[in-house]
Structures are given as C-alpha cells and as structure tokens.
Copies of this chain bind each other. A is one copy, B any other.
Amino acid sequence: MYVPGFGEASPEAKAAKNLHNLFTYVAVRVVNAQLESYNTEAHKELTEFMEKHSLNDGDKFCAALMRESSRHKTLAMRILEVRSAYCKKDFEWDNLERLAKKMADESNTRLMRDYVLETSHVETEKMKSPNFMDNIVLHMIMFIYIYISCNANHFTPY
C-alpha cells in the first residue's frame, strides 16, 4: 500500500532498517555476555568500545569495530554472524505481529479512556453549562467506540 511521506521507500523498508539495527544491538549484547564468562579481556575491550561508539546505526558500529584492531575485527565478524543467525532463526516474527496488534488495541483504548476520565472530571464542574448534553452524547459515543474496539477486530475505516 502506498503511504505518503516515505519517498521511494515503504513503511516495511523503514521498519526492516529499524529491526536491522535492533538485531545488531541484540548480537552485540549476546556476544558480550558470552565473552564475559570465557574471555574477560575481549569482554572488557568490547565494553570499552561500546562506551565510545553509538549502537544506533548497527552497520556503522560494526564497520568501526572491524577497523579498531585485529582482535576487534574478530569480534566484529562474530557479531555479523550472530545478528544474521538471530534474524533468521531466533527472532519471533509471529510474536512481533501479535504484540504490535495487541498494542494497537490497548493503546487506543487507553488514550480514549484517559481522555474520557480526564474530561469527565472537568465536566462535573460544568454540569450546568448549555453544552452539557452535547458532552454527554460525545462521551457515550467514545464509550461505545472503546467497547467496539475491544470486542471486534473486523472493521474497515478507510
């Protein structure tokens, strides 16, 4: 589906790039945790390198690590292997989809509930205002919307 604001890329490509950086972060953490138990010197070197270099851009981090020293290069090769294997074997893709869909429902419900509760408190002070009935109708519509959101996943708003 075409989405404005992504240039020639797509939301899927943007999301894949974010995941790629996350997988590098995971691989660095996994390798460093493994080193902690059997190679404390390498563990110390990698920890020091992480303190000086951002992991926001995974590829940039790995490229810098490869060029630091021959020992760092070995670590970088290991990180490249682990991030590829993690992406292909261990990352739970179905779980990601389930969690994101659950988050969409829960966040929408929470945002509307918080708004209704917040404004209900304010409205109590304004019960004599001429717009009181309008507000009651609005809140009823929002409650119905929350109810439908919680109970039905089959709607096509656009």
Contact = CB atoms under 8 A, between A and B. Distances in A.
State how many copies of this chain the complex holds: 2
A88 B125 CA distance: 40
Nearest to A97: B93
A100 interface: yes
A14 B115 CA distance: 26
For chain A, the bracket of interface size reads 35 or more
Q: Is the interface of A mostly helix, strand, loop or mixed?
A: helix
Contacts of A110: 59
Interface of A: 1, 3-6, 11-20, 22-23, 25-26, 29-30, 32-34, 58-59, 62-63, 66-67, 73, 77-78, 80-93, 95-97, 99-101, 103-105, 107-108, 110-112, 114-115, 145, 149, 153, 155-158
21 contacts: A4-B29, A5-B25, A5-B26, A15-B18, A15-B96, A16-B96, A16-B103, A18-B22, A19-B96, A20-B100, A20-B103, A20-B107, A59-B107, A63-B111, A63-B114, A67-B115, A78-B157, A82-B157, A83-B108, A84-B108, A87-B104
